[in-house]
Amino acid sequence: MKTQEEVKELVRQKYSEIALQDKETNQSSCCGSGSCSTEVYNIMADDYTKLEGYNPDADLGLGCGLPTQFAKIKKGDVVIDLGSGAGNDAFIARHETGETGKVIGIDFTPAMIERARQNAEIRGFHNVEFRQGDIEKMPVSAHVADVIVSNCVLNLVPNKDGVIKEIYRVLKPGGHFSISDIVLEGELPEEIRKAGEMYAGCVAGAIQKKLYLEMIETKGFKNITVQKDKLIIIPDDILRQYLTAEQILVFKQSGTGIRSITVYAEKPKEEKKSCCGPDCCS
């Protein structure tokens, strides 16, 4: 069993490799780089091309949903994108928040930060900023964001509970998030759970859907809503790298579901403090 730091280093290495490639190259490989015949990163991706603000150069095909489509971003909002990659969701968020707003992308892979900054500079996006850091300890002050988005990232983080606490800290009272992620209904085979490639490919690190939603609720979030829920099918040629034919059959018959969900939740507004001093009570 890998330690949390070993898992994070594995993810950092894999996504550093992906950052140096284009979307077409990533889609030809199950590991984003290398010689695998099919993709595990890209079987989950949704089509961004019809969203306003979309920039093909920033789309590496690594998401599992369209959180910015559901994020209810308003003009002037401060938006934080967790695991911002090459800037895809950040640039769409920028279109929604406009020139009066601000977007902060956070990613712990230096190569991704460099690529995102280049994409922003080329386009003259002066109100988009990319910060290198760990989303378990965000390089952002408390009560900064109106909206937080993230696309297929929390499943890569061993300490998901810590990330949700950080989201609560960083959101303004009354702020909200929209996050797309991979969750499970049922148990994955041990061979898949232990596979580093399947972890970095957003599958092996996923937790149970029920636990995921409960974790959000226990941190104090309200109005929790699943905005989108879709089944993810892993092709047999990927499964055959980890399972025998008999194991694949058992897995398919087990009822285990790998799902992409987009979750919305709100941080409660601060309660008004009662005033009973001599200056405000009649």
Distances 185 to 77, 105, 163, 238 between C-alpha atoms, Å: 35, 30, 22, 20
Each residue of 119-162: pLDDT tens digit? 999 999 999 999 999 999 999 999 999 999 999 888 888 889 99
* Cα radius of gyration (the chain): 20
Nearest-angstrom CA–CA distance, 89 and 150: 8
Burial code (b: 16+ CB inside 10 Å, e: under 16) for 251-272 equals beeeeeebbbbbbbbbbeeeee
The model's pLDDT over 73-99, given as tens digits with 9 standing for 90+, comes to 999 999 999 999 999 999 999 999 999
Q: Is the per-residue pLDDT at 24 higher than 90?
A: no
User: According to CATH, what is the number of the domain 4-266?
Assistant: 3.40.50.150
**pLDDT computed for residue 279 by the predictor:** 52
pLDDT band at 35 (very low <50, low <70, confident <90, very high): very low
pLDDT number for residue 204: 63
pLDDT of residue 8: 65
Q: Give the residue with greater pLDDT, 222 vs 57.
A: 222
Mean residue pLDDT across the chain: 83
Q: Is the pLDDT of residue 211 over 70?
A: yes
DSSP 33: S
Average pLDDT over residues 206-225: 95
Residue 7 pLDDT > 70, yes or no? no
Q: How far apart are CA 93 and CA 88, in angstroms?
A: 9
- H-helix or E-strand spanning residue 264: strand 257-266
Average confidence (pLDDT) over 24-48 = 49
So where are the chain's domains?
A: 4-266
**Structure confidence at residue 192 (pLDDT):** 82
Higher pLDDT, 279 or 256: 256
CB 215 within 8 A of CB 252: no
Is pLDDT of 273 > 80? no
Quote the pTM value.
0.83
Provide the residue type at 171 as one letter.
Answer: L
